[in-house]
């Protein structure tokens, strides 16, 4: 499984899924969790802000992996950085591929969270009972078995089932490539004026004409 990328700022250039702490770490300076990673909010509580790249929010699995990763890493930093810690140590702890460092453990934590999520989704698909749920479950099964070759073969019936049932949360049961296909098709339907999408109670509501 691909690992999340992140940065305790300054760990290098490039694109990261999320960042926390300082943007630049000086190897010769000393840092502490309180004040350097966490900061005081207006309401008086101390929090460690995490900045997540917008693209991450397009996939359930990516969100789960990234957030679990950052929580794991920040919790290790919180424990280790109760005392002053050198910037050199901080940079080392966030390097990938070194067993036992924060980033290494965080990759494991992120993967475990995604696996737990997939198991939950599989269980939910097994226990689907309504007519619309069954349509989606059947197509997802066919997709997973490789008996349908085009994402659209799953996406079209899924859009119809979600739209007719009014259950936007069924979308999250679709495999990632199908979610992407559904988003693209729905955007096209809306652009063509054959579909309206609204949000009701935090759930997307779609009407196809």
Where does residue 31 fall: left (phi above 0), alpha (psi -120 to 50 degrees), or beta otherwise? beta
Q: Which of 195, 199, 165 is nearest to 182 (CA)?
A: 195
Question: Near Zn ion by CB under 5 A, which window of 21-29, 69-77, 154-162, 201-209?
Answer: 69-77
Nearer to Zn ion, 6 or 36 (CB): 6
Q: Break the chain down into helix, strand, coil percent, rounded to 5.
A: 55, 15, 30
CB 144 → Zn ion: shortest distance, Å? Answer: 30
Where does residue 135 fall: left (phi above 0), alpha (psi -120 to 50 degrees), or beta otherwise? alpha
Could you say which of 37, 106, 113, 135 contacts Zn ion (CB under 5 A)?
106
Residue 6 lies near Zn ion (rule: CB under 5 A)? yes
Question: Near Zn ion by CB under 5 A, which window of 5-13, 29-37, 133-141, 184-192?
Answer: 5-13
Nearer to Zn ion, 105 or 164 (CB): 105
Residue 93 lies near Zn ion (rule: CB under 5 A)? no
Could you say which of 103, 132, 139, 167 contacts Zn ion (CB under 5 A)?
103
Distance between CA 7 and CA 67 in Å, rounded?
13
Question: Near Zn ion by CB under 5 A, which window of 83-91, 106-114, 122-130, 182-190?
Answer: 106-114
- Contact between residue 142 and residue 134 where contact means Cβ atoms under 8 Å apart: no
Tokens representing 162?
A: 């979600």
- Beta bridge partner(s), residue 19: 7, 51
φ/ψ of residue 200, rounded to 5: -135, 120
Q: Tokens 């979308």 belong to which residue?
A: 171
CB 96 → Zn ion: shortest distance, Å? Answer: 8
Residue 17 lies near Zn ion (rule: CB under 5 A)? no
- Beta bridge partner(s), residue 46: 40
> For Zn ion, how many residues bind (rule: CB under 5 A)?
4
State the Rg of the chain over Cα. 21
CB 69 → Zn ion: shortest distance, Å? Answer: 6
Q: Which residues bind Zn ion (CB under 5 A)?
A: 6, 73, 103, 106
């Amino acid at each position: 499984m691909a690992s999340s990328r992140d940065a305790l700022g300054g760990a290098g250039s490039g694109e990261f899924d999320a960042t926390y702490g300082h943007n630049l770490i000086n190897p010769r300076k000393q840092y502490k969790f309180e004040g350097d990673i966490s900061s005081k909010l207006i309401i008086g509580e101390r929090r460690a802000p995490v900045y997540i790249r917008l693209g991450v929010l397009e996939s359930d699995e990516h969100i789960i992996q990234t957030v679990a990763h950052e929580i794991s890493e920040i919790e290790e930093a919180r424990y280790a950085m109760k005392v002053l810690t050198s910037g050199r140590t901080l940079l080392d702890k966030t390097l990938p591929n070194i067993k036992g460092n924060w980033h290494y453990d965080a990759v494991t934590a992120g993967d475990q969270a995604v696996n737990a999520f997939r198991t939950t989704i599989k269980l939910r698909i097994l226990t689907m009972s309504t007519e619309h749920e069954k349509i989606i479950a059947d197509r997802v099964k066919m997709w997973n078995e490789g008996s349908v070759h085009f994402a659209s073969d799953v996406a079209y019936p899924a859009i119809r089932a979600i739209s007719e049932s009014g259950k936007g949360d069924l979308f999250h049961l679709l495999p990632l490539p199908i979610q992407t296909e559904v988003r693209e098709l729905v955007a096209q339907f809306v652009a063509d004026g054959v579909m309206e999408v609204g949000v009701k109670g935090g759930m997307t509501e779609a009407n196809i004409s």
